[in-house]
Structure 1
């Protein structure tokens, strides 16, 4: 949350209190409403400045579980100090404005002190509520981060299995090709291990996909044609790691692998309406989207779960059978990256 947004929230929070004090002063002392609003504004500014100290105190004295009398005692003393200081500062300001000392003693002392204590309770209550909400958000973020880490940990073996399966299939047929595929796989794994991040730029994802496709090109030979159209403006957009990779694996597994004929794989990435559109399409026989998702096992299901955790309803994965034959998977995510706190920390 930006600092300017925090200050705006604080300002909005004090506005109702200022309006209430303006009305109370106007009703109690008469005069013009504008004058009452000026006096109330001065009082609220002083209360807000002292509220900074109250906010810091709530950080040093957390809400106890279970409740403790020591906690009550600390805040009783702090409330008395807050109310007394607030009253004294108000009198000092009044004295400077009127060029004469305005005594704090008198019939209005009691109501002023009670008002000061009430302001302290209000500020402390809001501060504790804000801290509780912040802790809850941090816990949700940590939980989401843990879930993402678990999903990513499951996705890596899934990718590794598919790549190793390609190498194993090549060994009895073409040992040299199997060696080249193993070398390509080593490069892929090195790039993954070097940066085990939840999010990375499309340019890095595409580099990974190109290495993977190089492995599959050794396996399929002329039976696999890859056409790519990656917009330069889209390369810097961040996306979940292995997102495009998962779609490519799925297309090869269900589009190219079952066929003897040549399969054309079309991969595109473009920006439209502040969204990144990734599509992976093949010209195979096509299949029912639900059957494809069920047969894909871990890959697509884990990708959907990661998208939900990172983007909520702002991202979607669409699977469609093409009318002219073939299958197309399209991933649509916001151009703006999700909350940075969800980015896993490096060990």
Structure 2
């Protein structure tokens, strides 16, 4: 299906050239519209078929940097051969059409040969431009993937360091709780590194977040309460791995960690039309927005990652003020598959 569509596009691309030739025949030679269209379409059909060979030749002769004389010489020979082949093919088609041998001779053959050379240059130019565009697209995709890999690698140590810090803090205070926290951290590490995918379902992401919260529950005890409100439709939707982890960790860090009183972190997820809406809200200490932006490494990296993955289609907003808690909201376009 894909190859057939390429053939259709290739032939359609010649229609404007055929129309131009038809107009020239009507204005210069006084041909009727039917005669002009019939003749120009026949000329373009042979040019298009022979052009496939030119397209293949350009694939075997990559564009040199810097330009080389041998490259130009090879294409000069190719242009001459194409022009001769095009004139010959048109003579054969014309002969078969009228039932007698038709030869292009005299001064008119020069115009045909020049036209054939022009076709060759046009086809080769388009082919090289297409390949250059394809290479640029591949380079941009590779750059985007490398940037995403770097950002994702930065997210791993960020939350793992915080979890490890929790274990270290517990060792002198309560060795038994520290042991349980270390076991939870091991499970968290396995869950993190066993899944290298860029996108996961909300259900999968929440399973990893729960391992993190189990560690923090050992640290904070009753000072940390987590409430979830997930729509069933949202659980199977895709989001970038560690995106929800970053929101929840941010809520724990800025909500529960600085205060002695109990803090509630409410995590919600819903689907609104074509948008997956995820939020982590806490009733903790809150923070100055400027201080949060300057010190929020996880949120900043997540925002950069969203830009690479979705462009302007996704957003991460944070609302906070001292004493008023914090709300981090993620809006993602619904994805069909990872």
Structure 2 Cα separation of the partners of residues 11 and 331 of structure 1: 46
Structure 2 Cα separation of the partners of residues 161 and 246 of structure 1: 13
Alpha-carbon spacing, 1:99–1:5, altered in 2? closer, same or farther (3 Å): closer
Structure 2 Cα separation of the partners of residues 5 and 217 of structure 1: 58
Q: By how many angstroms is 1:271 displaced?
A: 2.2
SS at match of 1:63: coil
Structure 1 Cα separation of the partners of residues 269 and 34 of structure 2: 60
Equivalent pairs, count: 337
Alpha-carbon spacing, 1:155–1:323, altered in 2? closer, same or farther (3 Å): closer
Counterpart contact for 1:239–1:337, Cα < 8 Å: no
* Structure 1 residue ranges without an equivalent (≥5): 341-347
SS at match of 1:46: helix
Alpha-carbon spacing, 1:317–1:33, altered in 2? closer, same or farther (3 Å): same
Q: By how many angstroms is 1:79 displaced?
A: 1.2
Q: By how many angstroms is 1:4 displaced?
A: 7.8
Name the counterpart of 2:58.
58
Structure 2 Cα separation of the partners of residues 47 and 247 of structure 1: 60
Q: Which runs of 4+ in 1 moved over 6 A?
A: 2-5
Alpha-carbon spacing, 1:255–1:68, altered in 2? closer, same or farther (3 Å): same
Q: By how many angstroms is 1:96 displaced?
A: 2.5
SS at match of 1:173: coil
Structure 2 Cα separation of the partners of residues 91 and 155 of structure 1: 68
Alpha-carbon spacing, 1:11–1:93, altered in 2? closer, same or farther (3 Å): closer
TM-score relative to the length of structure 1: 0.88
Name the counterpart of 1:274.
274
Structure 2 Cα separation of the partners of residues 256 and 4 of structure 1: 60
Name the counterpart of 1:316.
315
Q: By how many angstroms is 1:128 displaced?
A: 0.7
Name the counterpart of 1:27.
27
Deviations, residues 297-345 of structure 1 (Å, cap 9, x unaligned): x21111111112222222211011389932111111222379x9xxxxx
1:186 aligns with 2:186: yes
1:174 aligns with 2:178: no
Structure 2 Cα separation of the partners of residues 211 and 8 of structure 1: 54
Name the counterpart of 2:331.
332
SS at match of 1:77: helix
Deviations, residues 10-58 of structure 1 (Å, cap 9, x unaligned): 4664343222122122223323223312322232232222222222211
Alpha-carbon spacing, 1:229–1:323, altered in 2? closer, same or farther (3 Å): farther
Counterpart contact for 2:263–2:282, Cα < 8 Å: yes
SS at match of 1:64: coil
Name the counterpart of 2:93.
93
Counterpart contact for 2:258–2:285, Cα < 8 Å: no
1:250 aligns with 2:265: no
